[in-house]
Structure 1
Amino acid sequence: MSLDQDQQLRSGCHDETTLRLDSSDSRDLAKQPLQGLKLASHKVLEKAQQTGRLKCSKCGGSRMFFCYTCCSLVGVSIQEIPIKLPVKIDIIKHPNETDGKSTAIHAKILAPSDVTMYTYPCVPEYDMNNVVLVFPGPEAVSVKDIRRCLGNRSKTKLHDHFDEPCPKRLAIEDPNGGTQDAKNPEATDEAKTQESKVFPLQRVVFIDSTWNQTNKIITDERLQGLLQVELKTRKTCFWRHQKGKPDTYLSTIEAIYYFLLEFHQSFLVQEYNGEYDNLLFFFSYLHSVINKAKTSAGKC
């Protein structure tokens, strides 16, 4: 089922060519796992759904809610966006991934200034000291271990940095044999203290692909050496989950959301108050619509 088809779903009966109902799917969806999120009102999406599909003003494609080709809203105005994220997000999309089936576009539309999308084989050069890759694997660590692991990688680099004299400061001899900053004797210590407080993570990379197609990207030499992070305790709510894969294998937008949630809870001082919940704005609405459609189909 493509996103185009997902966007057309209504409550009511659907034939088998449009929607296949599995009793276990119905039970799982009925649990409403996305309840409790602090989301903007879905009324704007409900209204857009009643209006029907519109042409994208940029490419002319027939779309509902947003254009996944142009990364722009269609017939929808959302005051709550853009969402501000605590770190930059890069999404590397498999060239064979169908745009209409991908949830990665949700992140780009909802947080445009913090999300960059690349189509493989276009991959930036990354610094393994401040970039992580969210992808399961035997060497993957949890979100809470990121600071320690990246810190260990950058210790030598930071040590070398502080050993080098700063050209913008005058170092004078300390009577006790050390050196001080001529302008502020405590500046060096303060700089080290501030440097230690700076979180080393600057960018997070996600792969947007079916799980069966990820090998080509994950084995690319440009991603080798990046610290891998796995979201081991989260379960997917994606309606297009691949059979035979663990339910901890998340859709792209779920992975981004849960990573940021755990990052915030682990490392940011302020208590989490739904700051990134709207990343699931489209996802939760589509999940709800498909849930209702599947339930109705089961009653036909």
Structure 2
Amino acid sequence: MIMTDSNTEDLYQDFFNGFNEFDANFTDDADNDEKSTNKIDTDWIDKFFGRRPPEIMRKDITVHLEKSFLEQCKNDDDPFDKFQIDDCNILNQINDRFICEKCHRSRLYYCYTCFELSPELIGKIPEIRLPIKIDIIKHPQELNGKSTSIHSIILSPKDVRIFTYPQMPDDWYDLNKIFLLFPKPGSKTVSDFLHHYYYYNEDDDNNDEQPTKQQQQQQCFRYDKKEFPIERIVVIDSTWQQTKKILRDVRIKQLKTLIIDSEQTLFWRYQHGRPLNHLSTIEAIYYLFKQIHMTLFDMFNNNNNNNKNDNNDHHSDNNHSNNIIDYFRLEYNGQYDNLLYFFKFTFNLIKNRYHL
């Protein structure tokens, strides 16, 4: 989208007013909503969309949008058609802000500081149960108002926790079952890790090499003899530059790391020099669960007949582990798609407001 000088200021004013309504008050957690103004503050735009290269003028709002997002906006096709996401129209019907009972600040859909949902939305938006717990470690400079990680705790409050670094969980008891989702050297993909865990040669149980398909056929599929290997997954919510400090923390360094197979982002924020598979936090969490589920479903489905008897014998010995396994034996049918509920709404809000 190319704008002329005649419509730039009007569009900027419209942008500011629109995102003021959309809860884009990014003046720190100590913000005072009574001080909000109609004066155009372009730094707020930077904070929402991400920093742009210094040589690019502020007056073209599209430079704050990710190129892949703009390409998606050119198409009439809805990129979310392939997902099973509940209708977001209820959000368009929310006109009045609410006062958060905890921090007493004015919010629209939810309080991004206290993670409290608007009373008008309670029971009217999806609530998702996740088979694995998620801990999000957020960098203190990552602004709550623009962070997609907040979506996860609003939509899955029983299974997601958010900590602002240096605050950290104090209940990481078994580090062998807690994994960090981060692309470090030596990280295994979710698929590789699960295949190695469940397919192994009884005489070589400590072998870390990923078995080939031919080796898997010669080895034992032993899901019924082991506990489920993942209890909790840790996700870092920060820019790449901010991540370094958190990664140096001794508690984080102890965790084994996992990565997800490449997926293309639909994120709108400008990410200078980052590839299309550089996902937003909520996208990464969504694809993590989807890939875990589809990997395990394929493994259990392909080996179901060979393990029926063993599974029946073992069920009473490890009920919790088998409950999780039984969950993954159901074919994937959009169980986690609603994690993108607010993400989809924001995507379409930006696209429709500016007729991109």
User: What TM-score results when the alignment is normalised by the length of structure 1?
Assistant: 0.74
1:82-231 map, 5 Å: 82-124=127-169, 125=172, 127-148=174-195, 196-231=225-260
Q: Secondary structure at the match of 1:204?
A: strand
Q: How far apart are residue 5 of structure 1 and its match? A: 4.5
| Residues 243 and 202 of structure 1, relative CA distance in 2, 3 Å threshold | same
Q: Give 1:128's aligned amino acid.
A: L
Cα root mean square deviation, aligned? 3.2
Which residue of structure 2 aligns with residue 40 of structure 1? 86
Which residue of structure 2 aligns with residue 190 of structure 1? none
| Residues 261 and 113 of structure 1, relative CA distance in 2, 3 Å threshold | same
CA contact under 8 A between 1:30 and 1:291: conserved in structure 2? no
**For residues 106 and 242 of structure 2, what CA distance do their matches in structure 1 show?**
28
| Residues 203 and 35 of structure 1, relative CA distance in 2, 3 Å threshold | same
1:21 aligns with 2:65: no
CA contact under 8 A between 1:89 and 1:114: conserved in structure 2? yes
Q: Secondary structure at the match of 2:179?
A: strand
Q: Give 1:257's aligned amino acid.
A: Y
Q: How far apart are residue 44 of structure 1 and its match? A: 1.0
User: What TM-score results when the alignment is normalised by the length of structure 2?
Assistant: 0.63
Which residue of structure 2 aligns with residue 187 of structure 1? none
**Percent same amino acid among aligned pairs?**
38
**For residues 117 and 267 of structure 2, what CA distance do their matches in structure 1 show?**
22
**For residues 227 and 203 of structure 1, what CA distance do their matches in structure 2 show?**
11
**For residues 59 and 225 of structure 1, what CA distance do their matches in structure 2 show?**
35
Q: How far apart are residue 137 of structure 1 and its match? A: 2.3
Task: Find the partner of 2:293 among 241, 260, 264.
Answer: 264
Q: Secondary structure at the match of 1:295?
A: coil
Q: Give 1:146's aligned amino acid.
A: F
Task: Find the partner of 2:350 among 271, 290, 293.
Answer: 290
**For residues 173 and 88 of structure 2, what CA distance do their matches in structure 1 show?**
38
Which residue of structure 2 aligns with residue 280 of structure 1? 340
**For residues 223 and 56 of structure 1, what CA distance do their matches in structure 2 show?**
32
CA contact under 8 A between 1:147 and 1:201: conserved in structure 2? no
Q: Give 1:86's aligned amino acid.
A: P
1:73 aligns with 2:117: yes
| Residues 248 and 219 of structure 1, relative CA distance in 2, 3 Å threshold | farther
Q: How far apart are residue 96 of structure 1 and its match? A: 1.4
Which residue of structure 1 aligns with residue 317 of structure 2? none
Q: Secondary structure at the match of 1:217?
A: helix
Q: How far apart are residue 114 of structure 1 and its match? A: 0.5
Q: Structure 2 stretches of 5 or more lacking a match? A: 1-14, 25-39, 46-59, 207-221, 297-327
CA contact under 8 A between 1:231 and 1:259: conserved in structure 2? yes
1:250 aligns with 2:276: no
**For residues 6 and 33 of structure 1, what CA distance do their matches in structure 2 show?**
25
Q: How far apart are residue 151 of structure 1 and its match? A: 6.8
**For residues 62 and 223 of structure 2, what CA distance do their matches in structure 1 show?**
56
1:55 aligns with 2:95: no
Which residue of structure 1 aligns with residue 268 of structure 2? 239
**For residues 254 and 146 of structure 1, what CA distance do their matches in structure 2 show?**
20
**For residues 257 and 83 of structure 1, what CA distance do their matches in structure 2 show?**
11
Q: Give 1:20's aligned amino acid.
A: I
| Residues 240 and 5 of structure 1, relative CA distance in 2, 3 Å threshold | farther
Which residue of structure 1 aligns with residue 312 of structure 2? none
Considering Cα pairs closer than 8 Å and 6+ residues apart, tell me whether 1 or 2 has the greater RCO. Answer: 1
CA contact under 8 A between 2:191 and 2:291: conserved in structure 1? yes
Q: Structure 1 stretches of 5 or more lacking a match? A: 10-14, 160-192
> Could you report, residue by residue, the CA deviation over 1:29-75 in whole angstroms, capped at 9, with x for unpaired residues?
34443222212221210101xx1433324322221211101101123
**For residues 244 and 21 of structure 2, what CA distance do their matches in structure 1 show?**
27
Which residue of structure 2 aligns with residue 172 of structure 1? none
> Could you report, residue by residue, the CA deviation over 1:201-250 in whole angstroms, capped at 9, with x for unpaired residues?
11111001122200111222111242222224112211114211222221
**For residues 89 and 216 of structure 1, what CA distance do their matches in structure 2 show?**
20
> Could you report, residue by residue, the CA deviation over 1:179-205 in whole angstroms, capped at 9, with x for unpaired residues?
xxxxxxxxxxxxxx7762532111111
Q: Give 1:68's aligned amino acid.
A: Y
**For residues 126 and 248 of structure 1, what CA distance do their matches in structure 2 show?**
33
**For residues 345 and 239 of structure 2, what CA distance do their matches in structure 1 show?**
22
Q: Secondary structure at the match of 2:235?
A: strand
